[in-house]
Amino acid sequence: MTSEFITLGIETSCDDTALALLGDNRVIGDVISSQIADHSPFGGVVPELASRKHQEALLPLLRSLFASTGLKPGDIDLIAVTAGPGLMGSLLVGVMSAKALAQVWGVPIIGVNHLEGHIFANILAHPGLAPLFLCLIVSGGHTEIVLVRDGGDYALLGATRDDAAGEAYDKASKLLGLGYPGGPVIERLARDGDPCSFAFPVGLRTSKDVEFSFSGLKTALRTEVQKLSGMGAGELPVADICASFQRAVTESLLMKIRLAVRETGVRRVALSGGVAANENLRAAISDEGVRLGWESFLPPKKYCTDNAIMIAAAGRASYGRGLRSDLSLVPDPSWTIWGDDDKSPSAAVPWRVTSRENPRL
């Protein structure tokens, strides 16, 4: 039995099965099983296939995690599991597995919001990062700017009207015949391209609201590809197209972060989510921070994509604030973490919480 408080994190919101063990001030171990090879032939995630793969991977990963760390079930003090948002079938595999383990091991369980997990990826990577700060969450399913007022206290400043940035990358990649996932391959090809070759639009450039749109960019890309193909000019200038597309996405994200900083006066900016691994975006956020006097916080790339380390960190923090879940916990594919000033995010799902020791929650 270890003297540390050990949290087991379980993440199955989409197509990665991830487990992690988090101690008091350290990551003890983490394992992940990717499904990219399974979904690539379809050009995107197939929900039913994803849930089946989670079922196959979870228990073998758990055995591997215990074997690699030397810990055992009796060392676990808390199980933190992603309960939303995400794919319902995938979430169910993680939540039902967590509830079964909690019963067998006799340990408490807490449901974690996946977006809060992404926020905590930065807090875990940067111990000095504390509210107030802005967090740009940008991934295949999410593009939002969130004001982090306190642990468990979040305000949504703006989100995408249509596609998420990562989704736009995937659709662009599919259109160009580059495969799935689109973000990494477009980033790689863009390194050899000219970002000024094509004047792709930056969505909502003139809007005074903190909001995003990538559907027009996607349409502009399709139109340009059709035009070039119809001209019979031979092979498409794929590197230039990728570089120009990436420039438009990056500028859209950067433009709205600048607006959020101006509107709130908050000058600590964190980046999170799968697209946060993009080097072009990371460099742009850092450079803009230097130019305009922000503090920029970028998590290690390992913490950008879906992982169980961030889920364990967010779950432990929620548990420390007095939040509890029980065996009635069920996933919510649309669970948000923000609410108005009179109603906390947690209060929006009362079935999830059995005690609120902190009056802020």
Tokens of 270: 């964190």
Identify the band that residue 231 occupies on the pLDDT scale cut at 50, 70 and 90. Answer: confident
**Euclidean distance between CA atoms 336 and 114, whole angstroms:** 9
Strand-by-strand arrangement of the 16-22 sheet:
27-34, 16-22, 7-11, 78-84, 109-113
pLDDT of residue 352: 31
pLDDT of residue 350: 28
Whether the predicted pLDDT of 275 surpasses 90 = yes
pLDDT of residue 339: 63
- Beta carbons within 8 Å of 29's beta carbon, 6+ residues apart: 20, 21, 65, 68, 69, 71
**Euclidean distance between CA atoms 305 and 86, whole angstroms:** 14
pLDDT of residue 358: 27
% of the chain beyond a pLDDT of 90: 87
- Beta carbons within 8 Å of 56's beta carbon, 6+ residues apart: none
**Euclidean distance between CA atoms 332 and 350, whole angstroms:** 12
> How far apart, in Å, are the Cα atoms of 183 and each of 32, 153, 223?
19, 31, 20
pLDDT of residue 43: 86
Phi-psi region of 203 (alpha: psi -120 to 50; beta: other; left: phi over 0): beta
pLDDT of residue 204: 94
Domains of the chain: 7-119+304-352 (3.30.420.40), 131-298 (3.30.420.40)
**Euclidean distance between CA atoms 236 and 241, whole angstroms:** 8
pLDDT in tens, 245-267: 999 999 999 999 999 999 999 99
Q: Of 307, 202, 301, whose CA–CA distance to 245 is shortest?
A: 202
What is the secondary structure of 231-291 as a DSSP string?
A: TT-SS--HHHHHHHHHHHHHHHHHHHHHHHHHHH---EEEEESGGGG-HHHHHHHHHHHHH
Tokens of 56: 């196959």
- Beta carbons within 8 Å of 102's beta carbon, 6+ residues apart: 79, 108, 109, 327
Q: CA torsion sign, 329 to 334 to 336 to 342? A: negative
Is 331 buried (19+), middle (13-18) or exposed (0-12) by CB count in 10 A?
Answer: buried
pLDDT of residue 245: 98
pLDDT of residue 230: 82
What is the average pLDDT value for the chain, to the nearest integer? 91
**Euclidean distance between CA atoms 45 and 40, whole angstroms:** 8
For residue 313, the surrounding DSSP H or E stretch is helix 308-320
**Euclidean distance between CA atoms 45 and 41, whole angstroms:** 10
What is the secondary structure of 35-91 as a DSSP string?
A: -HHHHGGGTS--HHHHHHHHHHHHHHHHHHHHHHH---GGG--EEEEEEESS-HHHH
pLDDT of residue 1: 59
pLDDT in tens, 13-54: 999 999 999 999 899 999 999 999 999 998 889 999 999 999
